[in-house]
Chain A
Amino acid sequence: MEHYNMSLHLKVWRQNNSRDKGHFENYKVDGISSEMSFLEMFDVLNERLITEGKEPIAFDHDCREGICGMCSMYINGKPHGPWKSNTVCQLHMRAYKDGDTIVVEPWRANAFPVIKDLMVDRSAFDRIVQAGGYISVNTGNAVDGNSLPIEKDKADASFAAAMCIGCGACVAACKNSSAMLFLSAKVAHLALLPQGEPERKKRVVSMVAQMDKEGFGACTNTGACEATCPKDISLSNIARLNQEYLIASLTADK
């Protein structure tokens, strides 16, 4: 692909802290290479802001290779930007052309309060996982992989669900701010494996209770989450979660 430079108009959400009302600020950035990543474009802008003695734009990032789930920007009305199955850090500036205007907002959900600018507090996800997204095994040496046979189809389905990086794009895309795709991935990947069997019912009940407590909405199966998920987590996981929840509630001890 041919390399080119571009000038862009950015409209970025600025907010000092969770109590601040926040506002959009306009920036013009020049000399942006088509080979830069979206975050590198922000690095260029931040360098300039620092040189000018202004406050740089705060945004989350870590691995910058699409696997950690830290980056979280809502770009021109879509979480993680225009590319499918992609995170912001893997979005490259060749997706844009000279003179484009880009609106960048943080994830919007009551359960994800803004910490600063484009950074949101996603610890609600950690608390949902803590409520049941684990297996109770004695730790020790790694068990030999072949000691517990698991059929390939199940292992694949479990792995596909375990691909979830917990970035929160599903919540950001959902009109109900529902965390159901995230939760369903966490429940499904353990429910499909024998290791997840002992806490299977307790897990789904506790995790759903925690999700509701954190203030996420209910799922209405619109599919917006699946369409925006950088790891292509399937919507059918939500139907599996519903089934797990139904079985757990119908067969509850008391």
Chain B
Amino acid sequence: MLIWNRAKILYIKKINWHLCLIFAAISSQPILTSMTWKQVFSSSIGRKLTMGLTGIFLITFLIVHMGINACMWAAVYFKDDHGEMFNKAANFMGSMVVIRIIEFGLFFFIFLHIIQGYMLTVYNRSKRAVGYAVDYGSKGSKWYSRSMGLLGTLILLFLIIHWLHFWIPSRFTGVEEVEYNGVKMHNMFALMQTTFQQLWVVILYVLGCISLGYHLAHGFQSAFKTIGVHNKRYQTMLTGLGYAFAIVVPFVFAMMPITMYLGWVK
């Protein structure tokens, strides 16, 4: 400790900054040798890790959600489908035990992503008490990379309306039923048709998808950087893949209410 103090004195006197580092190195300066999980996940990198890992989980969920919903377009190609393929796919997802268990995980991760996201935004904003008169703005970064909190909030507002439209009726308040080969199931296709007859709902869903697109444009590649992908080869690939994902997935989602509203899917 004496050596460390000596180093500090040297440092304060600014006698020799390099000498000070050598003193620090050989002295008994306390250096962490162990880490609790709490320490890991409450550190600035750990908080980001939570965002990145939950984000990647939600990205995989989007693929599944998009795939199931895309079954609605079977009604365009098969004249006698009338939403049968979509209803069966939705019923499979809603009735399978494993999927229902994963659904709990999904909600847990969604809320973890939301809560940690807000906490991180507040944490980061608190680090600059006095702001700049002239903002750095978009001179060094994309606007959507700096607006993840705002985009996330727009997605959350959309999600609440989306849950009220489909998830709550399906799980709690009930949906009109339809029978295929003696098996009764929710007619989610009919519910979609009714919901997407209103123009304001369609516009809201499209706006929700645009917010999701911009959120993914930054979030996708950022999540992989956060979990430590630093190789140039993968970073280039993941950035390209991220932009493609951010355009394709929200576009496919947005086309669902649009095609229903325009009467292309019956």
Contact = CB atoms under 8 A, between A and B. Distances in A.
Given A205-B35, A221-B145, A227-B140, A108 B44 contact: no
The binding surface of chain A is classed by DSSP as mixed
B127 A110 contact: yes
A74 B132 contact: yes
The binding surface of chain B is classed by DSSP as helix
Given A78-B136, A108-B132, A134-B21, A253 B33 contact: yes
B142 interface: yes
A118 to B, nearest CB: 13
A249 B36 CA distance: 8
A17 interface: no
B45 A110 contact: no
Contacts of B17: 126
A228 B138 CA distance: 12
Contact of A246 (B21, B22, B139, B227): B227
Contacts of B135: 77
A51 interface: no
A220 B225 contact: no
Contacts of A254: 34
B35 A175 contact: no
A199 B35 CA distance: 15
Contacts of A110: 126-129
Nearest to A209: B32
A242 B32 contact: no
Contacts of B21: 129-130, 133-134
Contact of A103 (B11, B134, B139): B134
Chain A contact patch, size range = 35 or more
A136 interface: yes
A248 interface: yes
Interface string B175-201: 000000000000000000000000000
A220 B228 contact: no
A215 interface: yes
Contacts of A212: 43-44
Contacts of A226: 140
A230 to B, nearest CB: 13
Contact of A108 (B20, B39, B131, B221): B131
B81 to A, nearest CB: 44
A7 interface: no
Contacts of B91: none
Interface in B113-128: 120, 123-128
A127 to B, nearest CB: 10
Interface of B: 11, 17, 20-22, 24-26, 29, 31-35, 39-40, 43-49, 120, 123-137, 139-142, 145-146, 148, 218, 221-222, 224-230, 232, 235
For the complex of A and B, 9 pairs with smallest distance between CB atoms: A243-B228, A227-B140, A77-B134, A239-B230, A176-B124, A218-B44, A224-B140, A222-B141, A217-B127
10 contacts: A111-B127, A134-B22, A205-B35, A208-B44, A209-B39, A221-B145, A243-B230, A245-B45, A249-B40, A249-B46
